Amino acid sequence: MTIKQAMVLAAGLGTRMRPITDTIPKPLVKIDGKAMIDYALDSLAEAGVEKAVVNVHHHADQMLDHLSRYKALEIIISDERAGLMNNGGGLAKGLKLLDRGPVFVTNADLFWIGERPDRPSNLRRLAGFFDADRMDMAMLCVNLEDTTGHNGKNDFNRDEKGRLSRVRADGPDPVVYAGAIAMQTAFLDDAPDDAFNLNIYFDKAIARGRLYGMMLEGHWLTVGTPEAIGDAEETIRRYRAMA
């Protein structure tokens, strides 16, 4: 399957990234010379996505200017300047701007490196892994040791079939959620119109036995503080030297 549409969550305030985010939105902070959101958009374009909704709030004018110059896919703006919707509310609002059907959901401040050029990309693999008959959501997951900038905590346990449950000490194969999902837009049809956390739908999928995870190839980076920029750039340089 090729998933041709996506939602990129990009409206957060980036408070932990201050003072940098006092003057620019977090998704436009450059890592190794490239805005963080462009890592996400480039991955989506490579995977065959043709249009993506991006929600904006903090320093929205800068986001609109940057996104107007991005040409690898069609950008649709979900405007949250009137009020932040949290990640769940933002997603539910943005999905209304897309066609019904399969969709990627990604974060603007998380990305990965080290994909093998002789294999399909992580997002192409995730699209192929997603089976709407068995799954409400298919998450990209990563082992804790393959992360930089993360808080050191696992998010889920993954069983031998790939099914995810909330992490517990005695559970199988602990993994970190790597910030990318494949799902059907219809899964959020019953979402409230106000702000809410997407964890509500993670738990709904778990309760139905329909939250699954696929393991990322490469190394996952999250940049939440000014200090984390240097760590991310050093990791990128290390992987570039290994290529």
Q: Which residue has the higher pLDDT, 1 or 184?
A: 184
Handedness of CA 200, 211, 91, 68 (dihedral sign): positive
pLDDT score, position 221: 92
Average pLDDT value for the chain: 93
pLDDT, tens only, 127-174: 999 999 999 999 999 999 999 878 889 999 999 999 999 999 888 899
Tens digits of residue pLDDT in 34-48: 999 999 999 999 999
CATH second-level architecture of 5-242?
Alpha-Beta Complex (3.90)
Q: Where are the domains of the chain?
A: 5-242
Cβ contacts of 198 within 8 Å, gap of 6 or more? 86, 87, 88, 91
Decide which of 13 and 37 is more confident: 37
Residue 242, pLDDT above cutoff 80: no
pLDDT digits (tens, 9 = 90+) for 70-101: 999 999 999 999 888 999 999 999 999 999 99
Alpha-carbon torsion, ordered 48, 50, 56, 58, to 10 deg:
50
Q: Note the pTM of the prediction, 2 decimals.
A: 0.92
- d(C-alpha 80, C-alpha 93), whole Å: 9
C-beta separation of 196 from 210 below 8 A: no
pLDDT of residue 241 exceeding 90, the answer is no
Q: Is the pLDDT of residue 199 over 70?
A: yes
Residue 46, SS3 per DSSP: helix
Hey, what are 198's tokens? 């997407």
pLDDT of residue 243: 63
> Which are the contacts of 30, defined by CB distance < 8 A and separation ≥ 6?
36
Assess whether pLDDT exceeds 70 at residue 188: yes
| 22 has pLDDT over 70 | yes
